[in-house]
Amino acid sequence: MAAPPLTFISRYNLCSHIKTHLQSSTSISINPSTKSTYTHDDNDSLRKQPIFPGAIAIDTKDISTSINQTGQTAPANALLGKPSKSKCKHGYAQVYSLDPMPSNKYGMDRLNSGLIKLTCPLLVNAIDVMEDDKFMNEINDKLIADSEDNELVECMNDAHKVHAETRKELIFGDDNSNSIEESDNYKLLISKLGERGAKYFIDAGVAGANPLSKKLDIKCLHAWLGDYLTRVDTIAEHPIGDMIVNELEKRGIDISGTEDCHAICSGCSADTSTSVQIPIPRNRQRKKRRQIQLNDKE
């Protein structure tokens, strides 16, 4: 089913909710186990609107929540929005939409090819296991089968279009240049990624999927679950998300959370017993697993 027309909000029209909460220079206390803080100054308050479909503005507590959930401070500067309706029984955001070209007082030091970051520790850990169990292959096999008339393919194409159009609006929405190629942001992208990389970046789909790729591959379960959680209440169907949620349920994972999982999001896990742990970044996890495999062979 085709995605509904996108209604975009002008890129730099500040939401009063964000402006009120993010102009403070006060540091935010976070999970003691991560031993880190995130400080806002006046320059950090100028954030773009959370124009990703289905998203609403973040507030100060969302920044500390995302750091508690992930144990990472760097992504906090890129947070723009969260789902308008949280499916978490404790009321915490489980996913955030990101600014593709965030800036801070040090300048733009990172780019985000993906616009969605799944942060709920319970769900991230569960999806890690599903990826290790090759569940992506099951979805990809269904994508390939009968691809001429396949609701999963239609869902994928619609979502890629939403992500590409949203990214362009975030990057170029208020630019008065005659063309994207003449804009300052595009020139900045070229300086960082090269001409081909800049083109791929602005046209990328879910999880930064290559817009020219003919391969039917969902690439990242985390991103697709995040897309589902953000947009599911704004669209009629999301069969890829449904497949992921159904598999989670088969594995005994309730997407609304457990009774004690909120201890991570609140930053109280050091003082409260919980069965949920802060996820290990996938690149580190894979490196560690590979080292264990090599050690076993010796």
Dist. CA 274–CA 206, nearest whole Å: 32
Considering only CA atoms, give the Rg of the chain. 19
Q: In what order do the strands lie in the sheet with 79-83?
A: 55-57, 79-83, 95-98, 116-118
Contacting residues for 154 by C-beta, under 8 A, at least 6 apart: 1, 2
Dist. CA 271–CA 143, nearest whole Å: 45
Per-residue model confidence (pLDDT) at position 174:
60
Distance of CA 161 to the CA centre of its chain: 16
User: What parts of the chain have a pLDDT lower than 50?
Assistant: 1-46, 286, 289-290, 293-294
Per-residue model confidence (pLDDT) at position 28:
33
Q: Is the Cα dihedral 196, 198, 202, 208 positive or negative?
A: positive
Reduced to 3 states (helix: H, G, I; strand: E, B; else coil), residue 46 is: coil
Distance of CA 43 to the CA centre of its chain: 23
Per-residue model confidence (pLDDT) at position 284:
54
Amino acid, res. 295: N
Dist. CA 119–CA 99, nearest whole Å: 15
